[in-house]
Amino acid sequence: MAMRKNGSSPDGSTGDMPPEEFRAAGREAVDWVAEYLAEVEKYPVLAQVRPGQLRGALPDAAPEQGEPMEQILDDFREVVLPGVTHWNHPSFHGYFAVTGSGPGILGELLTAALNVNAMVWRSSPAGTELEEHTLDWLRDLLGLPEAFEGVINDTASHSSLYALAAAREEAYPEAREVGLAGSPRGRIYASREAHSSIEKAALTLGLGREGVRKVEADDQFRMNPEALREALEEDRSRGIRPVAVVATVGTTSTSSADPVAELAEVAEEWGLWLHVDCAYAGASAMVPELRVHFRGWERADSVVFNPHKWLFTPVDCSVLYCRRPEALERAFSLTPEYLRTREQGTARNLMDYGVALGRRFRALKLWFVLRYFGAEGIRSRIREHVRLARLFAEWVEEDPDWELVAPVPFSTVVFRYASPELDGEEQDPANEELLEKVNGTGEAFLSHTRLRGRISLRLSIGNLRTREKHLTRTWELLRRSATEVVGQTASRLG
Ligand SMILES: Cc1ncc(COP(=O)(O)O)c(C=O)c1O
């Protein structure tokens, strides 16, 4: 059936899009998605646009009269798409690479159709119970003890904020009623390599930036437990109250893993909340030979991990597991009269575990992903990504002009161009320039970090379409760009 030419409802009524029109436009949209996923490589990975380009192509005001869906879809393709950086591209290696997989996309579509708000159990029992059940499955697959209860949030930043709010609740039981004014200063301990979301949580919780102490890391970027002990002692002598220890497994810069078991020892000695941030690497705990990096996480009080990073689930989906959910509930539960229900006490109300009242039905897409790929399918995909990352790391190690900057425990490689033809001062600008060149080709996208004061490049693998041939091409682009940069430097100096 052809789509109507006019966007407003057919009989001038005030209703929604008619079912026949939805079916026709929906088929077109789903066909487009199938083709997009099959041919995503034809797009430049990094959007090749200038700031303001998209806004310049859009009308100044929203339409007064409805527009036909065909026209809206055309504009999506012609105006919006050029401004998209394609995270679903097999050569997207920036930040942490991800996949919005087929089953995940379909789950997201159905979530939008149901449009439930699972704030309390009765506002959508399936929203609550599928979340609980799927997270129990996932917990068992990850090898976490049954005591951990899960809840889904939008991002790891919010999950960590909530976990640290529970820790603050334990450290300052009075804060819920009277706030922190007049209380001793409090501190969260995390490594220098911890994600900035920990500092943001401290800001939000009223602890301030000084409320995070960055503990020394070793030469492999892992938090040093002895340095943690010393920091705690020193702060105690200054009257600072410790709130929590944050361990990271899969740090943002290098994907290093803090020694969680040793840190758990310290946290237990000091009676402190231990939060483990494995936003990226968490999925790999499903793979027995990779679980070694998580040793000791079962002793944590809370763990955050994002299925939207390395578990093939579309953005957004972050899981917070808590061994003491009652502390989380104490920190957040506040029930206005209109949300009181008869099920109170017999069913969980997910609004009690964070700031947001409303919550999307995110469990549906995660449930689709777990069922469609199955645990074995997920493990083999993660193993393949780790294999590819190690292969790329070998290429780097074998080339005397390049160096590996950090170990590769998961699927992220950190490396730099360090040709003897460039002196030390020239190396940072050279790495920045060659990264721009590679990203500018639109064929691959990598990001960067600064380690020990020097610029390094990061290549992360997490897309289900990435094959060895893509990495071969990216390696070729990197080496070619490096040669061009060295040539430019030489001619500038010569
Ligand atoms: C270790 C770690 N924690 C937290 C985050 C923040 O994740 P989100 O974007 O879900 O807030 C990141 C982001 O990459 C991360 O690498």
Atom of ligand 1 nearest to the CA of 316: 10
Separation in Å, CA 250 to CA 61, 276, 305: 45, 10, 10
Q: Which two tokens stand for residue 407?
A: 């170990």
Q: In terms of domains, do 219 and 298 share one?
A: yes
Is residue 349 within 6 Å of ligand 1 at its C-beta? no
- The residue behind tokens 């097999």 is 90
List the CATH number of the domain containing 260: 3.40.640.10
List the CATH number of the domain containing 95: 3.90.1150.170
Q: In terms of domains, do 95 and 140 share one?
A: no
Examine residue 190 and state whether it is found in any structural domain, yes or no: yes
Examine residue 58 and state whether it is found in any structural domain, yes or no: no
Query: Which domain range does residue 183 map to?
Result: 117-361
Confidence at residue 1, expressed as pLDDT on a 0 to 100 scale: 40
Domain end position, chosen among 326, 361, 396: 361
Confidence at residue 431, expressed as pLDDT on a 0 to 100 scale: 96
Angle (CA) 231-232-237 rounded to 5° is 100
Q: In terms of domains, do 304 and 223 share one?
A: yes
Q: In terms of domains, do 215 and 246 share one?
A: yes
Examine residue 146 and state whether it is found in any structural domain, yes or no: yes
Confidence at residue 421, expressed as pLDDT on a 0 to 100 scale: 86
DSSP annotation string for 280-304:
TGGGGGGSGGGGGGGTTGGG-SEEE
Tell me how far the alpha carbon of residue 466 lies from the centroid of ligand 1, in angstroms: 22
Confidence at residue 2, expressed as pLDDT on a 0 to 100 scale: 45
Q: In terms of domains, do 325 and 402 share one?
A: no
Domain end position, chosen among 319, 336, 361: 361
Q: Which two tokens stand for residue 139?
A: 């917990």
Q: In terms of domains, do 254 and 333 share one?
A: yes
Tell me how far the alpha carbon of residue 319 lies from the centroid of ligand 1, in angstroms: 12
Atom of ligand 1 nearest to the CA of 155: 10
Name which residue sits closest to atom 16 of ligand 1, judged by CA: 252
Give this prediction's pTM.
Answer: 0.94
Give the residues of the chain that fall short of pLDDT 70.
Answer: 1-12, 490-494
Q: Which residues pair with 188 in a beta bridge?
A: 212, 244
Is residue 460 within 6 Å of ligand 1 at its C-beta? no
